[in-house]
């Protein structure tokens, strides 16, 4: 092989290696993609905020109307698939827990017309309050920095928030939380213990519960 050809090959190989190294370095220097946002509450307030929203009949209703009762406050929307999946369970929960004093309240963050049309074919057997921007403000008042639906607040008879459950709620999860709220209302445990029982109980449930 002539010297000129050998030199050309060496140069070509070196150039290819340099390009490859440059591309690798550029790849390594690219910023890592940001992780998807988590739908977690920021800081859970100690007490349930006393928000006022219109019900399905257009009558303003304040959450203080339910003072003295433990509440399951579910934030939802008609366009939210997991919200729709929760409804049969929430209907059953409202029936089954009425004797224990629990009340379920649905807060729809949605257009009023869409909610009323939805309720014509899908009955909700509990109070429904409706708010567009007001509904978003209500969610933030419960401590949600990023509003992802559904989420559910559980309060005791004194209006103290025991926990916020972010995401679709299943009956086993609700039972764990309500059991702790009942013990809290009975005076058997304090709030810190109730919250720890909720965390421990939920952690023991199967992943698909």
- 52-204: which CATH architecture? 3-Layer(aba) Sandwich (3.40)
Phi, psi at 153, each rounded to 5°: -100, 140
pLDDT 10s digits, 24-60: 333 333 333 333 333 445 578 899 999 999 999 999 9
**Which residues share a beta bridge with 106?**
74, 128
pLDDT at res. 148 = 85
- Give the closest residue to 107 by CA, choosing from 82, 135, 69: 135
Question: What pLDDT score was predicted for residue 209?
Answer: 74
Residue 107, exposed/middle/buried by CB under 10 A (0-12, 13-18, 19+)? buried
Look at the block and give the residue holding tokens 């014509």.
Answer: 120
Q: Which residues pair with 130 in a beta bridge?
A: 54, 108
How do the domains of the chain map onto residue ranges? 1-30, 52-204
What integer pLDDT is reported at residue 5 of this predicted model? 40
Percentage with pLDDT > 70 across the chain: 80
pLDDT of residue 99: 94
Which among 169, 130, 131 has a CA at the least distance from the CA of 149? 169
Burial profile 49-84: b = 16 or more Cβ within 10 angstroms, e = fewer: eebebeebeeeebebeebeeebbbbbbbbbebeebb
Average pLDDT over residues 179-193: 97
**Mean pLDDT for the stretch of residues 85-105:** 97
pLDDT 10s digits, 119-173: 999 999 999 999 989 999 999 999 887 778 999 999 999 999 999 999 999 999 9
Q: Beta strands 60-62 and 71-76: pairing type? A: unpaired
Quickly tell me which residue has 């920021």 as its tokens: 42
């Amino acid at each position: 092989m002539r010297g000129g050809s050998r030199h050309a090959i060496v140069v070509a190989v070196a150039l290819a290696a340099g390009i490859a190294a440059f591309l690798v370095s550029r790849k390594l220097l690219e910023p890592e993609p940001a992780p998807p946002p988590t739908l977690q509450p920021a800081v859970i307030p100690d007490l349930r905020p006393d928000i006022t929203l219109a019900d399905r009949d257009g009558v303003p209703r304040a959450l203080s109307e339910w003072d003295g009762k433990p509440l399951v406050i579910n934030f939802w929307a008609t366009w939210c698939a997991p919200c729709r999946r929760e409804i049969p369970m929430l209907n059953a929960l409202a029936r089954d827990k009425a004797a224990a004093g629990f009340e379920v309240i649905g807060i729809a963050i949605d257009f009023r017309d869409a909610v009323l049309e939805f309720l014509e074919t899908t009955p909700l057997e509990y109070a429904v309050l409706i708010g567009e921007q007001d509904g978003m403000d209500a969610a933030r008042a419960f401590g949600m920095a990023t509003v992802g639906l559904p989420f559910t607040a559980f309060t005791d008879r004194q209006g103290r928030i025991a926990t916020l459950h972010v995401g679709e709620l299943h009956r086993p999860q609700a039972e764990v939380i309500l059991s702790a709220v009942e013990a809290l209302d009975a005076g058997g445990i304090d709030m810190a213990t109730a919250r720890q029982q909720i965390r421990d109980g939920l952690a023991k449930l199967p992943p698909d519960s």
